[in-house]
Chains A and B, each alone.
Chain A
Amino acid sequence: EIVLTQSPATLSLSPGERATLSCRASQSVTIYLAWYQKKPGQAPRLLIYDASKRATGIPARFSGSGSGTNFTLTISSLEPEDFAVYYCQQRTNLYTFGQGTKVEI
């Protein structure tokens, strides 16, 4: 099973600041990594797929990068609605999620 490790567990930032979230895979997932945003009471929201492609309707302030085992989600300037938990997910070998990074004010 491929294990995804996200860091940090919690990121405390203010609106307007830049957020950088990391996801490390226990073995290469090539580019098959996605990022989701999750808020309480809402379904997961797909932000990025195939490491760097923005899903339909996702603002340009969200960007993804990386390949192999190291990936990054960057939110260039945090909006109030961006405070949430973010998960990475791989689809190279079955599907697994990381444990999440909480972005809080």
Chain B
Amino acid sequence: QVHLVQSGAEVKQPGASVKISCRASGYTFTSYSLHWVRQAPGQGLEWMGIINPRDGGTTYPQKFQGRVTLTRDTSTSTFYMELSSLRSEDTAVYYCGRDRSADWGQGTLVTVSS
């Protein structure tokens, strides 16, 4: 059974960075790319990027280029999403999701507040 387990909630100050993890199990880690998506309060879903676990290759939408970094650790089957220069508008629930599948993490709430 596939599981994507995300790290816990974070509270950050404006200007700081946050790094969220997504630990995968139940499948071959390198076989599926992984997406990151977020949902701010009262807003829709927003795609933040995708990483290929075989070679670490990443693709980001223009909005997040330079501010989001996706990485992976093949030794622990864990993906990471780091978002820098946080502002209040980054307050959201962040989800990881396996490409071409219905498997998602449980979500991580990031609150940006002074």
Whether A94 contacts B45 in the complex (CB less than 8 A), given A43-B95, A43-B105, comes out as: no
Residues of A contacting B50 in the complex (Cβ-Cβ under 8 angstroms): 95
Residues of A contacting B61 in the complex (Cβ-Cβ under 8 angstroms): 1, 94-96
When the two chains form their complex, are residues A46 and B47 in contact, meaning their CB atoms are under 8 A apart?
no
Q: Is the interface of B mostly helix, strand, loop or mixed?
A: strand
When the two chains form their complex, are residues B104 and A43 in contact, meaning their CB atoms are under 8 A apart?
yes
A96 to B107, CA, bound (A): 19
Using a Cβ–Cβ cut-off of 8 Å, how many residues does chain B contribute to the interface with A?
20
When the two chains form their complex, are residues B39 and A38 in contact, meaning their CB atoms are under 8 A apart?
yes
B61 nearest CB neighbor, chain A only: A94
A104 to B52, CA, bound (A): 37
- In the assembled complex, how far is the CB of residue B24 from the closest CB belonging to chain A, in whole angstroms? 14
Per-residue interface assignment for chain B, residues 81 to 114, with 1 indicating a CB less than 8 Å from any chain A CB and 0 otherwise: 0000000000000010100111011110000000
